[in-house]
Structure 1
């Protein structure tokens, strides 16, 4: 999960689908681990996961990888967002899924290191740059509340804005169309807020392209919308 590289450096134009797990303990810490020796970017830290095998769902692939690599039993997970990256060695489509429903203490089986970390804690080694940005997103509130950490642009402002305001911890915008969503993704926003009636139409194969809040949905419906792929809900204030 490194910055986009020139297409001229790509070994193959085949897109590799990868399941990525964001496992969050009750204390809010998330599971991170180092890449084993012998793999690209060995020693860098990232979220756990691995390639999808033929006919696997993303959840099935993630459950298999977590069991094989760390001895963790994953009971349930929900889609969070999908992000594509072009590496010098591969073009990958990263399917991020969140879970609070897992059992076991991680035991690395490939000589790597791992542990649970808060967003403001440093891992023993450098994190892959994109993973560092995603660590910050993990702490986005699930029930949206206005705060000094958040900047939410209107849809009109999103259409006119070129550079996100990085003085805020999280920056997002209201969105109604896939064009709005893709612009927010391109501008490296952290989230979008969408009308409930537009939500399903803004998914790609059942997965969001960016952490998504459902506008006007009550906190009591949080689990319902998260099962559909939402990050959270934004109740009527």
Structure 2
């Protein structure tokens, strides 16, 4: 298992930074979120900051855990630690012969995205404050008790969860997010990180930053 730090850098206009894989690496020419392997004794944030500095000339000021997923490629089995950030300095410089650019979720990259990144580009624009009035979030209340056919008209689909087993079922069903009660949040982490973008129920918008530092994607205030 190879541990990899992956950065979801979000510009003020909501676009995220993507780059192509340089020649000589597996999947050369495919596009992905920037990042790289953790070195000995590095935290995920430190590894991501180093990779962004070395490969793209960016200074990462802060980042928060988003979720962890695993993927088996032909050349490696990787554990991807995604972190989000709005706080960085600099203009991306392609220092390894790659291409890079800022993209909205509905914009196509010049080349194919890596398989694991395709759905994650869409997740990157999940709102940080869950609003029940929005028509872009579909919450399935019975998703964990039955086979669910994803409503392709909805941009995101999620479920309410109470246990880690519920979380893992939501991951297996390729849901985009889950909603948890505040008192259950810590128990639903795996080694201190979420397995899927997570909203904290009944948390006010004023507490968004506090929960994001713990690993939440966002909050769902009381209606």
Q: Give the shorter-chain TM-score range.
A: over 0.9
**Which aligned runs of 4 or more in structure 1 are off by greater than 6 angstroms?**
none
Question: Which of 49, 52, 67 is the aligned partner of 1:63?
Answer: 49
Residue number in structure 1 paired with 2:81: 95
Residue number in structure 2 paired with 1:151: 138
Please, what TM-score do these two structures have when normalized by structure 1?
0.91
Aligned 8 A contact 1:19 1:59 in 2: yes
Question: Is 2:146 the counterpart of 1:160?
Answer: yes
Give the 5 Å matches for 1:21-170. 21-146=7-132, 147-154=134-141, 156-170=142-156
C-alpha distance in 2 between matches for 1:89 and 1:121: 29
Q: CA RMSD in A?
A: 1.0
Structure 1: which 5+ residue stretches go unaligned? Answer: 1-14
Give the 5 Å matches for 1:177-196. 177-196=163-182
C-alpha distance in 2 between matches for 1:40 and 1:76: 29
Deviation at 1:129, TM superposition (A): 2.4
Residue number in structure 1 paired with 2:209: 223
Structure 2: which 5+ residue stretches go unaligned? Answer: none
C-alpha distance in 2 between matches for 1:206 and 1:26: 28
How many residue pairs end up in the alignment? Answer: 222
Q: Secondary structure at the match of 2:170?
A: helix
